[in-house]
Amino acid sequence: MPPETMLSQGVSVSKVITKEELCLFEQVAPACGIIIFGASGDLTHRKLLPSLFALAQENLLPKQFYILGLARSPMSDSDFQAKVLDSLGQAATAAARQDFVRHCGYLAGEYQDSKTYEGLRQRLGGLDGIYETSGRHLFYLSTPPSLYETIAAQLGQSGFADSRNPEAWIRIVIEKPFGSSLATAEQLNLSLHRVFREKQIYRIDHYLGKETVQNILMFRFANAIYEPVWNNHYIDQVQITAAESAGVEHRAGYYEQAGALRDMFQNHLFQLLSLIAMEPPASLAADAVRDEKSKVLASLSFPKGCDWQDGVVRGQYAAGAVDDEVVPGYRQEPGVKPISTIETYAALKLEIDNWRWHGVPFYLRSGKRMPARTTDIRVVFKHVPTSIFQPLLADQISPNILHFRIQPDEGIALRFEAKHPGPKLCMSSVTMHFDYEDAFGIRPPEAYARLFHDVMVGDQTLFSRQDWLSHSWRFLDPILECWAKEKEAGLAFYPAGSWGPAEADDLLQKDGRQWLTT
């Protein structure tokens, strides 16, 4: 009897299949309606609609689907379709774009108003009939977070959260940020659970949809050579960087309430940390993976305080230059308070107190207005124990570094020492590269496309679970509270176009280390 094969969605295939066959396995999403709350907003325009179109081009959208946009702005179906066309730019062919927009419609309404949901019922009734969706609905909440609870409650009251049709499913996608503290995140969970079951809730983090982020699991657990050295016996430190050259742009209204810790660490950086540090999961089933990720955050040691000596740095960009362009400081950006103490940069030294990682520092940093847009993870191995290349000492021989390039130039590189040709004893660091584009001939697809598909096929692996979110907020809350009390004291300014405040360098120098940027 061949063993059962478990695919990521928890689907079992009772025969041995080859890698090539596994690759052909594709879950086809059934006919469904996609209802986007926040359809006139920035995210819908820049990411959601182009991603849905990309899926359609890959034949990963069901043949029978519709997209219904919902927002306040008064718009007809054809006005919305014109906006959709604008979002798609020049992707694929004009005929393909036209075909796609024919599936799109629009309904104007206030989310707080129950009449909106009466209108929604009528529209969905008609569309479900035309597209034969059997009542399968994906509600995507891309609205200001303050409206999530209202919308969920209204959907519940109007009977949209359940269906008597056994073929139907109803799923709700919640955009980030998911709360702004442990209390608000738990309150939001509670409100969602009053209406939806956990299996229906998809808390999105678009970093998990990035190919290179998904590849961390494959790299770690489909290769035998890394696992034996993936621990405190061999690894000296791990650095995770998410740098952006852009400033706050037009999002000051949101960012003034958030800051770098809530905007980037609570979700994206902590997801990267969890994937790099987790134990091997029992399978690729959603909860098996999410169990292990949760344990990582549960094992974090809390810092003693919120100063740089405690392993916590916060900074804000001052005026400077990025790519030779002079740019204003954060406080001079439109919509930002001139005395704002919101951090646009943060760095943390984290310790995961478990058997695997005890004693290995994880340095995380993220900031706006840095010299480049780059997200990466560097796993730095220990020095060789002793040197046979005397008079070179062991710590003069550069340690191996495994470099995950999440974006741009997606790939993985391994640095090691090599001998120069010739009779002299010359040694240099060289790098072995894997590059996505070279290896597979395509650029990694847009993260949201993968995530939309996962929701349609009911796979929650790449979505945050409630307990993981609670652990992340539980860790960050004391730091955020401490910063709120300290206001400007302890806020370090850095010129736009630099790699952050000097305190972040001091943090590593204190440990005899430095940030790796090249």
Which residues form the catalytic set?
A: 268
Q: Compose the 351-390 pattern: x for residues touching ligand BG6 by CB under 6 A, - for all others.
A: ------------------------x---------------
**Partners of 138 in beta bridges:** 34, 171
- State which residue, 375 or 466, has the beta carbon closest to ligand BG6: 375
- State which residue, 120 or 350, has the beta carbon closest to ligand NDP: 120
- 263 touches ligand BG6 by CB under 6 A: yes
Give percent helix, percent strand, percent coil of the chain, each to the nearest 5: 40, 20, 40
What minimum distance in Å lies between the beta carbon of 71 and ligand BG6? Answer: 20
Written as one letter, the residue type at 323 is: D
What minimum distance in Å lies between the beta carbon of 375 and ligand BG6? Answer: 6
Buried-state track 239-278, b at ≥16 Cβ within 10 A, e below 16: bbbbbbbebbeeebeebbebbbbbbbbbbbbbbbbbbbbb
Tokens of 174: 């919640």
- State which residue, 255 or 483, has the beta carbon closest to ligand NDP: 255
Look at residue 38 and give the partner it binds from ligand BG6, ligand NDP, none, a contact being a CB closer than 5 to 8 Å depending on partner kind.
ligand NDP
Residues that bind ligand NDP (CB under 6 A): 38-43, 71-73, 110-112, 142-145, 147, 175-177, 254
- Cβ atoms of 303 and 312 within 8 Å: the answer is yes
Tokens of 408: 């741009």
- 211 touches ligand BG6 by CB under 6 A: no
- State which residue, 260 or 504, has the beta carbon closest to ligand BG6: 260
The rounded distance, in Å, linking the Cα atoms of 341 and 487 is 6
- 244 touches ligand BG6 by CB under 6 A: yes
- State which residue, 42 or 511, has the beta carbon closest to ligand NDP: 42
- Cβ atoms of 502 and 314 within 8 Å: the answer is no
Look at residue 263 and give the partner it binds from ligand BG6, ligand NDP, none, a contact being a CB closer than 5 to 8 Å depending on partner kind.
ligand BG6
The residues near 193 (Cβ < 8 Å, ≥ 6 apart) are 201
Measure CA of the first residue to CA of the last residue in the chain; give whole Å. Answer: 52
3-class SS at 215?
A: helix
- State which residue, 110 or 395, has the beta carbon closest to ligand NDP: 110
User: Three-state secondary structure along 260-283?
Assistant: HHHHHHHHHHHHHHHHHHCCCCCC
Tokens of 67: 């997209």
What minimum distance in Å lies between the beta carbon of 183 and ligand NDP? Answer: 19
- 343 touches ligand BG6 by CB under 6 A: no
Look at residue 59 and give the partner it binds from ligand BG6, ligand NDP, none, a contact being a CB closer than 5 to 8 Å depending on partner kind.
none
* Peptide bond just before 408 cis, omega within 30 deg: yes
Q: Taking CB positions, which residue lies at the least distance from ligand NDP?
A: 41
What minimum distance in Å lies between the beta carbon of 151 and ligand NDP? Answer: 9
The rounded distance, in Å, linking the Cα atoms of 308 and 296 is 23
What minimum distance in Å lies between the beta carbon of 142 and ligand NDP? Answer: 4
Q: Would you tell me which residues interact with ligand BG6 (CB under 6 A)? A: 176, 244, 263, 375
